[in-house]
Amino acid sequence: METSVFILLYVILFLSTLLSYPFLRKKKRGFRVGRSKLPAGSMGWPYIGETLQLYSQDPNIFFLTKQRRYGEIFKTHILGCPCVMLTSPEAARFVLVTHSHLFKPTYPKSKEKMIGPCALFFHQGQYHTRLRKLVQSSMSPDAIRKLIPDIESIALSALDSWAASAQVIDTFNEMKKFSFDVGILSIFGHLEEGYKQKLEQNYRIVDKGYNSFPTKIPGSAYHKALQARERLNQILGEIICERKEKRLAEKDLLGHLLNFKDEKGQTLTEDQINDNIIGVLFAAQDTTASVITWILKFLHDDPKLLEAVKAEQKAIYQSNSGGKGHLTWAQTRNMTLAHRVLIESLRMASIISFTFREAVVDVEYKGYLIPKGWKVMPLFRNIHHNPEYFSDPQHFDPSRFERAAPKPNTFMPFGKGVHACPGNELAKLEALIFIHHLVTKFRWEVVGSKSGIQYGPFPVPQGGLPARFWKESSCPSQNMCP
């Protein structure tokens, strides 16, 4: 069955790259190499490049093999696009920070259409700057600290349901539900349950079709996702209309978007509001769910570290009248060990393994030409796993962040520069809150012997980390729970 799926994938990739080849050839004739030369590397087979090599193995092995052979900058051809890969901190900073104006964010048109072309991460310049400020202001420390009691409630509700079922769960999929609920909270505040259910139902269809082959054939996952995306617009329109009628002055993300006016008094259009809401949901869900899933695996695999995290969190628990009081912002800032576990998980897992940019002009970097129109990919995972910057990089070691701070531009779990994730503080907060309630009130056991990583597209433990959860109170003796 798996072999058939891979063969089908290869056929689809071959046809897509074959159709795009005439366009790529037309663009290539416009290059002016001058004295600079293209980086070393292989462009693979005619038409399809090295796409099959990338998708037939662990992508990390593909990129690492290239780096060892060609150095910190090399060329390839994947997914119908000529690409330049960058694996050094200096190169990442060049593309994402100091010379970011020479490179624009780029996504496949099918994915841009799914999220919405007005979403901030498809843009640069003045529009992007304005939208980014709105998102950042709604997710600033002052804004998200007020969400702590509600995030605690969402975390406890999820954990209670897993423990009550006594069933093996797909941890990653359940974490996606948790992060979705937190995303809804940050965008809408306390949204009426009927709206929330309709948003979730249609969002799941969009999410399922997001990485599918982009065909509009009726019944295909992509076609269903497009229809669900239209329904999301209608639901969001109803929510916006209701909020305007009630003249609610909320300070959540929707409130910031509705209240925005530029220097000419222009407000955002409904399409702009809708696309940015969906964009934030996409950005907030899989990435946060992935890293929390990895945290559970790393803690489960290191009992000594788990006990140390428990001791830290139990002290906070006891200071809150035995868990009767809510966590405070100050307490989440003082979860020193849990925070180191979080950031080491971000380094090890490297949820965002790379980012796509496109050169808007011919660019020279260290004597090499990056031609206009070529994709440029800073490879975060290669940097995070480079022994020059992190000793014994394949070993999970939170204490490395206690011994010394990372060298500049070597640790970029949320990206870098003007397009870095604006919701990173919210993501870290919900992870810390979840860890607190998990280790103080529950136990869990990873089920099965599967190891390794699966990509969909974000890296998660094999099988989504199947696990079973118990309440501490239901474990009267050490022998009854793992």
Which one, of 26, 14, 29, lies nearest residue 78 by Cα? 14
Is the separation of the CB atoms in 190 and 214 below 8 Å?
A: no
370 forms bridges with which residues in the sheet? 363
What the block records as the tokens of 465 is 């980390």
Is the separation of the CB atoms in 6 and 57 below 8 Å?
A: no
User: CA-CA distance, 54 to 56, in Å (whole number)?
Assistant: 6
Give the β-pairing of 453-455 and 442-446.
unpaired
In the sheet where 375-378 sits, what is the strand order? Answer: 73-78, 81-86, 375-378, 357-359, 103-105
Is the separation of the CB atoms in 469 and 176 below 8 Å?
A: no
Q: Helix (H, G, I), strand (E, B), or coil: what is residue 339?
A: helix
241 among the known binding-site residues?
A: no
Mark out the alpha helices in 107-220 (DSSP H runs): 109-115, 126-138, 141-144, 148-165, 171-188, 193-210
Name the DSSP class of 195. Answer: H
Q: Helix (H, G, I), strand (E, B), or coil: what is residue 127?
A: helix
471 forms bridges with which residues in the sheet? 442
| Residues contacting 275, CB < 8 A, separation 6+ | 115, 116, 117, 118, 119
Is the separation of the CB atoms in 481 and 470 below 8 Å?
A: yes
Is the separation of the CB atoms in 191 and 160 below 8 Å?
A: no
CA 185 vs CA 193, 203, 349: distances in Å:
12, 15, 26
Binding-site residue ranges for heme: 421
Binding-site residue ranges: 421
